[in-house]
Amino acid sequence: MIERKIKILPDSLASKIAAGEVVQRPASVVKELLENTIDAGATKVTIIIKDGGKTFIQVIDDGCGMSEADAEIAFTRHATSKISSLEDLENIHTLGFRGEALASIAAMSQVELITRTAESDLATKIRVEGIEIKETTKTAFEKGTSVTVKNLFFNTPARRNFLKNNTTEFKHVFDVVIRVALSNPNVAIKFVSGDETVFNLKKSNIEDRVRDIFGDKAGSSLITVENESGNLRVSGFVSKPDFSRKTRVDQFLFMNGRYIISRNLNYAVHQAYENLLEKGSYPFFIIYITLDPQKVDVNVHPSKMEVKFQDERSVYHVISASVRDALAANNLVPSIHMHSGTDEVSRLGWQSNFKHTHSNFEQVDRRTGEILQASNIASLPFQKVDFTESASRPETQEPNNIDDKQNYFQIHNQYIIIPIEDAVMIIDQHAAHERIIYERTVSNFNNSHTQSQQLLFPYTLEFSAGDTALVQHLVPNLELLGFQLKIFGKNTVILEGVPTDVKPGREETILQELVDLYKENEYEQKLEPRDNLAKSFACKAAIKFGDAMNQSEMRALVDQLFKTQMPYVCPHGRPSVMKLTLGELAKRFGRSV
Ligand code: ADP
Ligand code: MG
- CA angle (59 as vertex; 57, 60 as ends), nearest 5: 145
79 lines ligand 1 (CB under 6 A): yes
**pLDDT tens digit sequence for 91-119:** 889 999 889 999 999 999 999 999 999 99
Average pLDDT of 236-250? 77
**pLDDT tens digit sequence for 411-443:** 999 999 998 888 888 999 999 999 999 999 998
99 lines ligand 1 (CB under 6 A): yes
116 lines ligand 1 (CB under 6 A): no
Average pLDDT of 314-322? 91
| 276 pLDDT higher than 80 | no
| 240 pLDDT higher than 90 | no
Lowest mean pLDDT among 407-411, 516-520, 580-584: 580-584
Task: State the pLDDT confidence band at 258, using cuts at 50, 70 and 90.
Answer: very high
Of the listed ligands, the closest to the CA of 74 is: 1
C-alpha span between 553 and 449 (Å, rounded): 25
C-alpha span between 29 and 173 (Å, rounded): 9
Nearest of 151, 149, 125 to residue 57 by alpha carbon? 149
Mutational test site, ligand 1, from 39, 83, 84, 97, max ligand atoms within 8 Å of CB: 39
Question: Are residues 496 and 486 in contact, defined by beta-carbon separation less than 8 angstroms?
Answer: yes
pLDDT at 331: 56
Nearest of 531, 404, 513, 426 to residue 463 by alpha carbon? 513
Task: State the pLDDT confidence band at 29, using cuts at 50, 70 and 90.
Answer: very high
Q: What percent of the chain has pLDDT above 70?
A: 85
Average pLDDT of 357-366? 30
Lowest mean pLDDT among 10-14, 343-347, 538-542: 343-347
Render 355-382 in DSSP notation, one character per residue: HHTTTT-B-B-TTT-PBPPHHHHTTS--
33 lines ligand 1 (CB under 6 A): no
37 lines ligand 1 (CB under 6 A): yes
Which amino acid residue places its CA nearest to atom 27 of ligand 1? 36
Task: State the pLDDT confidence band at 372, using cuts at 50, 70 and 90.
Answer: very low
Higher pLDDT, 17 or 499: 499
Ligand 2 mean position to 33 CA, how many Å?
7
Ligand 2 mean position to 101 CA, how many Å?
5
64 lines ligand 1 (CB under 6 A): yes
What is the chain's mean pLDDT, rounded?
83
pLDDT at 334: 54
Residue 396 DSSP label: G
Task: State the pLDDT confidence band at 575, using cuts at 50, 70 and 90.
Answer: confident
Nearest of 173, 165, 167, 171 to residue 149 by alpha carbon? 173
C-alpha span between 71 and 65 (Å, rounded): 9
Which amino acid residue places its CA nearest to atom 13 of ligand 1? 80
pLDDT at 21: 80
Task: State the pLDDT confidence band at 593, using cuts at 50, 70 and 90.
Answer: low
Q: At what angle do helices 551-561 and 429-447 cross, to 10 degrees?
A: 50
CA-97 nearest atom, ligand 1? 3
Q: β-strand 44-50 against 188-193: which pairing, if any?
A: parallel
Higher pLDDT, 15 or 257: 257
Higher pLDDT, 297 or 368: 297
Ligand 1 mean position to 443 CA, how many Å?
56
Ligand 2 mean position to 94 CA, how many Å?
9
| 387 pLDDT higher than 60 | no
| 19 pLDDT higher than 90 | no
Ligand 1 mean position to 42 CA, how many Å?
12
The length of the chain in residues reads 593
96 lines ligand 1 (CB under 6 A): yes
233 lines ligand 1 (CB under 6 A): no
pLDDT at 275: 65
**pLDDT tens digit sequence for 34-76:** 999 999 999 999 999 999 999 999 999 999 999 999 999 999 9
Mutational test site, ligand 1, from 29, 68, 102, 298, max ligand atoms within 8 Å of CB: 102
Ligand 1 mean position to 370 CA, how many Å?
55
